[in-house]
Amino acid sequence: MADLSFIVGLVGNVISILVFASPIGTFRRVVKKKSTESFKWQPYVTTLMSTSLWTYYGLLKTNGLLVVTVNGAGTVLQAIYVILYLIYTSKDTRIYMAKMVGLLNVGVIGVVILVTHLALHGSLRLLVMGSLCAALTIGMYASPLYAMKMVMKTKSVEYMPFSLSFFLFLNAGIWSIYSVLVRDIFILIPNTIGFVLGSAQLVIYFIYKKKGPNSAKETDIERAEEEGSAQFVDHMEMQNRRKDEEYGSSKHLNKGRSLPKLYMARQNSFSGILKTLSLSPNELTTYWQKDGYDAI
């Protein structure tokens, strides 16, 4: 059983490190452009706090080597992301972000370590640290709920990348198995919740994946084109009615000349409407001027 838990934990280490390494492409772009653009800093600061506390939990726990290695690696990567963000962000954001880093990643972590060492002992210390780490992890796994809401609202998966959803699902599943093998409830609870949410993300992804990111926009464009075509037809019918009235009022002066024109106007207007549906605005103006109609 011990060998199996080690193998599962080792696989979990690899998958978790891949998840932690996923922002490397983002920060490569940040360094290249020397700007953080619209990327948010909050996920990196909170993840840094979480991995730091999990590393401390692993140090307190008996046989917690695999917990220490994966979260230690995550702490190093998150610290690099935070430093790069501080370097390339704007001055105002840098000041505020530095305060939050000091508060969460120095202040909170320092207080937690001091309190657990000075005021708590034995199993109570492990209970407090495990509960705190589990709560933070549940919060991190719940964060994609907003992305799921956006997918269902827009009917597009552009707000929820498949690779990230899949690796979070896989990561939570592996660590759930590991927690059962080593009988660690503090690892089991958040990762079970993460596994359920990850499964829901994948289900939603496959439901909406056939709809491209621009499907909603395309639908709006098609609707606008249909409405525009209907308005154009209505406009042409109004013009034709006015011409009919003009022909009708003048037929006692030029009866023989007006009747053929009335028929031809109707015939040309019907065929013209069909033809103009495929013309550009400039071509449309030229077409109607050529056939003796006023430009729209």
Cα–Cα distance for residue pair 35/201, rounded to 1 Å:
31
pLDDT in tens, 66-75: 999 999 999 9
Cα–Cα distance for residue pair 185/86, rounded to 1 Å:
36
User: Which residue's entry shows tokens 């390494």?
Assistant: 21
pLDDT at 164: 79
Domain coordinates in residue numbering, the chain:
2-208, 215-290
pLDDT in tens, 156-190: 887 677 887 888 899 999 999 999 999 999 999 99
pLDDT in tens, 119-164: 888 889 999 999 999 999 988 877 777 778 888 888 888 767 788 7
Residues with Cβ within 8 Å of residue 134, at least 6 apart in sequence:
186, 187, 189, 190
pTM exceeding the 0.75 threshold for the entire prediction:
no
Parts of the chain with a pLDDT under 50 = 213-227, 232-233, 251-270, 273-296
Residues with Cβ within 8 Å of residue 1, at least 6 apart in sequence:
181
Quick one: what percent of the chain has pLDDT higher than 70?
A: 70
pLDDT at 293: 44
Tell me if 132 sits within 8 A of 112, measured CB to CB.
Answer: yes
